[in-house]
């Protein structure tokens, strides 16, 4: 089948197969990408688009070098970069105009992707400083869901979710410090992995401590392929783990039979969204049909743990990470960002220790659960909102969107968000597979099998999953 410049899939397998067959070149793909961006028109998903000629020059250089998908795993794959990663020669602003500076060096995370053959197309909008999972806390216009211009895109990797789902790039580099990669994946019919903390180094991103850098992709296989290029142990990175040096990220086979934990009907939270709840019930039935046995548990302790991230002393970590820029221009932050970060000044060292004790108790509950099940399964988000609804109650509704994602980061678990179908109004919802640290391959196996069983087209494109 001939690849179409207008609608041809940008998933890794499709492009690499065409490159190997000689029916397509990176230059032709880049030309098509820029034509698609132009056809889409003004789009706040981008804070900056690299000039077409520069991207074409990078593609031509790649072709002339004799490289291939075999020598360069990300060969010829166009990608977007979240606005908090430095790219030399371009401004970095973290979606806050007052904090903008000209980057003089490229973040090592970005450089690894470039070195592996990926081609940068532009920089993507975000929730300011990664503070949010909704995509509306920005000085650069609000990206909307590809499936509905009235609804939020999800954040903080908001623009990245939009450009992947719209078929403008193969993948988008982002972060996930509280669900920032998984929430936009859920709302854009995409895949987002929050890997075990410490497998991917911090780089020099202002996302700072506690973040797991990630990518948004069309398929689970693509996500694994990209993140494998980022996993490494960096000696002078205080949170980089030695285990990263030998960790082999891959998709484990789905067991013939398995047990999976799901929030009980009495403790699950959908905030009145019956359509989202129906999709989750359908997911449980689908997993049972795949050989699973559902085991209900009380989600209340994990929801309490999730609240610790922004509603208790753990917010002091975000304040500590951003204190220099807060002191420089905090008065010009987005109102919601400013309000939340100010909470970090209220807590003492003793408060932080008390919060850590609470978290340790909640984590023991979760770990006890994993003794009886292979994986935990929850919705990625309990619902979604229009942009107007979110702006009306910004902080409150942002917290709702992080109901199922926040505790994962605090407990240093790994989690994978995959599509879980469309509500009757056509809006996507996601499903999340969760496991303790270093069990990434297990959840990838569950997620990949589930995504294939679901059978949806990829993102907002009409392209089916590749064979």
Tens of pLDDT along 237-251? Answer: 888 999 999 999 999
Tokens of 183: 């929430």
Is the pLDDT at 208 greater than 80? The verdict is no
- What pLDDT is attached to residue 397? 97
- What pLDDT is attached to residue 203? 86
- Residue-wise pLDDT for 95-131, tens only, equals 999 999 999 999 999 999 999 999 999 999 999 999 9
What residues contact residue 211 under an 8 Å CB cut-off, 6+ apart? 130, 175, 176, 177, 202, 205
Active site residue 250: no
Active site residue 264: no
- What pLDDT is attached to residue 211? 64
Residue reference for tokens 């400013």: 338
- What pLDDT is attached to residue 341? 92
Q: What is the mean pLDDT of residues 65-83?
A: 98
- What pLDDT is attached to residue 435? 98
Please, what is the angle between helix 300-311 and helix 394-401, to 10°? 140
Which of 99, 153, 158, 180 does the annotation list as catalytic? 180
Tokens of 72: 């360069």
- What pLDDT is attached to residue 212? 78
% of the chain with per-residue pLDDT over 70 = 98
- What pLDDT is attached to residue 204? 82
Sign of CA dihedral 126, 155, 407, 311: positive
The closest of 131, 127, 199, 118 to 161, measured between CA atoms, is 127
**Domains, the chain, ranges and CATH?**
12-246 (3.90.1300.10), 258-413 (3.90.1300.10)
Active site residue 194: no
Which of 9, 27, 82, 194 does the annotation list as catalytic? 82
This model's pTM is above 0.85:
yes
Measure the CA–CA gap between 419 and 441, rounded to whole angstroms: 18
- Residue-wise pLDDT for 433-452, tens only, equals 999 999 999 999 999 999 99
Which of 9, 156, 158, 205 does the annotation list as catalytic? 156
- What pLDDT is attached to residue 238? 87
């Amino acid at each position: 089948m001939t690849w179409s410049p207008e609608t041809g899939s940008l998933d890794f397998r499709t492009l690499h197969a065409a490159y190997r067959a000689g029916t397509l070149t990176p230059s032709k793909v880049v030309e098509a990408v820029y034509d698609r961006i132009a056809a889409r028109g003004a789009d706040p998903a981008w804070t900056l688009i690299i000039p077409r000629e520069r991207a074409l020059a990078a593609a031509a250089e790649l072709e002339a070098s004799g490289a291939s998908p075999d020598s360069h795993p990300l060969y010829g794959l166009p990608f977007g970069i979240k606005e908090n990663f430095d790219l030399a020669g371009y401004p970095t602003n973290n979606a806050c105009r007052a904090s903008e500076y000209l980057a003089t060096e490229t973040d090592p995370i970005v450089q690894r992707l470039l070195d592996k053959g990926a081609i940068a197309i532009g920089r993507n909008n975000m929730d300011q400083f990664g503070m949010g999972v909704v995509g509306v806390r920005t000085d650069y216009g609000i990206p909307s869901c590809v499936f509905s211009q009235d609804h939020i895109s999800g954040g903080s990797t908001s623009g990245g979710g939009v450009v992947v789902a719209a078929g403008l790039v193969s993948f988008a580099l982002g972060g996930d410090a509280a669900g920032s990669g998984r929430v936009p994946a859920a709302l854009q019919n995409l895949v987002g992995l929050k890997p075990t903390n410490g497998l991917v180094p911090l780089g020099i991103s202002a996302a700072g401590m506690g973040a797991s850098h990630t990518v948004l992709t069309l398929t689970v296989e693509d996500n694994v392929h990209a993140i494998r290029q980022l996993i490494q142990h960096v000696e002078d990175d205080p949170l980089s783990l030695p285990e990263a040096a030998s960790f082999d990220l891959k998709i484990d086979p789905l067991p013939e039979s398995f047990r999976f934990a799901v929030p009980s009907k009495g403790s699950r939270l959908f905030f009145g969204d019956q359509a989202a709840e129906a999709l989750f019930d359908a997911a449980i039935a689908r997993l049972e049909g795949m050989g699973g046995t559902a085991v209900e548990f009380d989600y209340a302790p994990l929801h309490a743990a999730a609240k610790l991230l922004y509603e208790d002393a753990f917010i002091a970590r975000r304040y500590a990470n951003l204190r220099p820029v807060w002191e420089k221009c905090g008065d010009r932050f987005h109102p919601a960002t400013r309000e939340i970060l100010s909470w970090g000044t209220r807590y003492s060292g003793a408060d932080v220790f008390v919060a850590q004790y609470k978290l340790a108790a909640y984590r023991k509950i979760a770990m006890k659960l994993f003794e009886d099940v292979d994986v935990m399964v929850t919705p990625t988000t309990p619902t979604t909102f229009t942009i107007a609804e979110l702006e009306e109650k910004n902080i409150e509704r942002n917290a709702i969107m992080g109901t199922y994602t926040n505790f994962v980061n605090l407990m240093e678990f790994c989690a994978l968000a995959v599509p879980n179908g469309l509500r009757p109004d056509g809006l996507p919802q996601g499903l999340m597979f969760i496991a303790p640290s270093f069990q990434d391959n297990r959840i990838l196996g569950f997620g990949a099998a589930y995504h294939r069983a679901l059978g949806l087209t990829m993102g907002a494109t009409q392209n089916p999953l590749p064979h």
